[in-house]
Chain A
């Protein structure tokens, strides 16, 4: 009897371990929720590509889509058009798009902006401090900041029509779609 109880206990522990580790294996290791979601967005002030300064404070009261990118990143090129469309289409809806260029060189960043015909403002994060402040893993990553200045949503990887609408719904309810 004692032996049966012992074996049952061992079996239960083994099954629990298999279930826990098996579940872990099905998870995407990069899909880690950002601890910043729901909290005030980090403030930044960066030299703007083309001249001037890019400050998040300048967009207080608006929904802000912050996109981290680099010219050598191919998915960044894929999503550039989507971001440009949002920037133009949402200008009247109190939503702005800003880009933050990281791990890059000035000339390459400028060339990317010209080639992709980007009109929204972009800042240069040469030292990577703003990226670290946002807990960025790699490029591209996009943060959706609501009008109260809180990080409402984050997309890792390139944004597509569906994923950007999901983010916009959180910072411009009733306007996205």
Chain B
């Protein structure tokens, strides 16, 4: 009997869980769901830390996904939905900043600095490996002075 009750409880829980899922994807058109998911992935969940609207289980995110679905079903384009959220929350709502104006500094700053660093390393390594023949020849007078100095040092040491 106990086993039966447990099984019934598990079944009820499963039903409740699937009910939550079906609330989100009621009469789900896979093409629409794919677009909703893609857009929700681009948006920051306002009540979470660093989670997208697609990944957050919060009520706010669920409501935002419903709104995106509704707008797409009404025929809105991705740009229109994106603009709607930017108009309400500012550019902050976008997980990736727009590719315009000052934002280009963010998009290009990293790669440019990385490239500059790589170029710097290449030059540095090339300089260290420069062959000895590149060293300008020493004049006979300098060579004689070096030889004399060396000889003196050797004699002092001995």
Contacts and interface: CB of A to CB of B under 8 A. Distances in A.
Q: Which of B47, B63, B64, B86 has the most CB of A within 10 A?
A: B63
Contacts of B88: 35-36, 132-135
A32 B90 CA distance: 9
Given A137-B46, A138-B46, A138-B47, A32 B63 contact: no
B119 to A, nearest CB: 12
Interface in A26-50: 32-36
B-side interface mostly: helix
A35 B60 contact: no
Q: Which of A34, A103, A135 has the most CB of B within 10 A?
A: A135
A103 B128 CA distance: 66
Interface string B34-59: 00000000000011000000000001
A32 B46 CA distance: 11
Assign chain B's interface to a size class: 10 to 19
Interface residues of A, number: 17
Contact of A128 (B60, B87, B92): B60
Nearest to A34: B90
A35 B66 contact: no
A127 B90 contact: no
Nearest to B64: A132
A128 B90 CA distance: 18
B89 interface: yes
A-side interface mostly: loop
Contacts of B90: 32-35, 135
Interface in A94-140: 103, 127-129, 131-138
Contacts of B66: 127
B89 A135 contact: yes
Nearest to B46: A137
B20 interface: no
Contacts of A127: 63, 66
Contact of B67 (A33, A35, A103, A132): A132
B92 A32 contact: yes
B89 A103 contact: no
Contacts of A134: 88
B92 A103 contact: no
Interface in B59-98: 59-60, 63-64, 66-67, 86-90, 92
A128 B46 contact: no
Interface of B: 46-47, 59-60, 63-64, 66-67, 86-90, 92
Please list the 7 inter-chain residue pairs (A to B) with the smallest Cβ-Cβ separation, ordered nearest first.
Answer: A128-B63, A135-B88, A137-B46, A35-B90, A135-B89, A103-B59, A138-B47
Interface of A: 32-36, 103, 127-129, 131-138
Given A32-B92, A133-B88, 19 more contacts: A32-B89, A32-B90, A35-B86, A35-B87, A35-B90, A36-B88, A103-B59, A103-B60, A128-B60, A128-B63, A131-B63, A132-B63, A132-B64, A132-B67, A135-B90, A136-B46, A137-B46, A138-B46, A138-B47
